[in-house]
């Protein structure tokens, strides 16, 4: 158990709809990351938050948005869904600064599998 919690685990929806994926980071981690893994694809970095502020942006579509709340949980909002958005969406958390014991390894949740029909 990584300590990162993601909900829902599975989600099936139709094209054009909007969904929200939720993530609770490990206790004490201030940084949250979102990744997308399409079928047989690698992990594509979407966005990162640190203590409520956006810190880095990757290949995130304009139809997607995210935020991190004061209690540090994060939500990824996907709107106007298309078939190609079907993927496994991972949330990860990390410490904010490298230390002797922790050099930024990401701890991943189990992922939210989104199927768009």
CB of 44 to another protein, least distance (A): 8
Which parts of this chain interact with another protein (CB under 8 A)? 2, 30-31, 33, 35, 41-43, 45, 48, 50-51, 53, 55-56, 88, 90, 92, 94, 96-98, 103-108, 110-111, 113
**Which residue number, 81 or 94, has a Cβ lying nearer to another protein?**
94
Strands 10-13 and 64-68: unpaired
CB of 39 to another protein, least distance (A): 12
Contacts of 2 (CB under 8 A, 6+ apart): 26, 107, 108, 109
Return the half-sphere exposure (C-beta side, CA atoms, 13 A cut-off) of residue 101: 1
Among residues 115, 41, 42, which one has the least CA distance to residue 85? 115
**Which residue number, 34 or 64, has a Cβ lying nearer to another protein?**
34
């Amino acid at each position: 158990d990584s300590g990162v919690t993601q909900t829902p685990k599975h989600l099936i929806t139709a094209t054009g709809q909007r969904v929200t994926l939720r993530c609770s980071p490990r206790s004490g981690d201030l940084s949250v990351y979102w990744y997308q893994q399409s079928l047989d694809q690698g992990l594509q970095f979407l966005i990162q938050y640190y203590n409520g502020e956006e810190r880095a942006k990757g290949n995130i579509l304009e139809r997607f948005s995210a935020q991190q709340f004061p209690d540090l949980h994060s939500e990824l909002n996907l709107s106007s869904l298309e078939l190609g958005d079907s993927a496994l969406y991972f949330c990860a958390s990390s410490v904010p600064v490298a230390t002797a014991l922790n050099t930024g390894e990401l701890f991943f949740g189990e992922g939210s599998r989104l199927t768009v029909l």
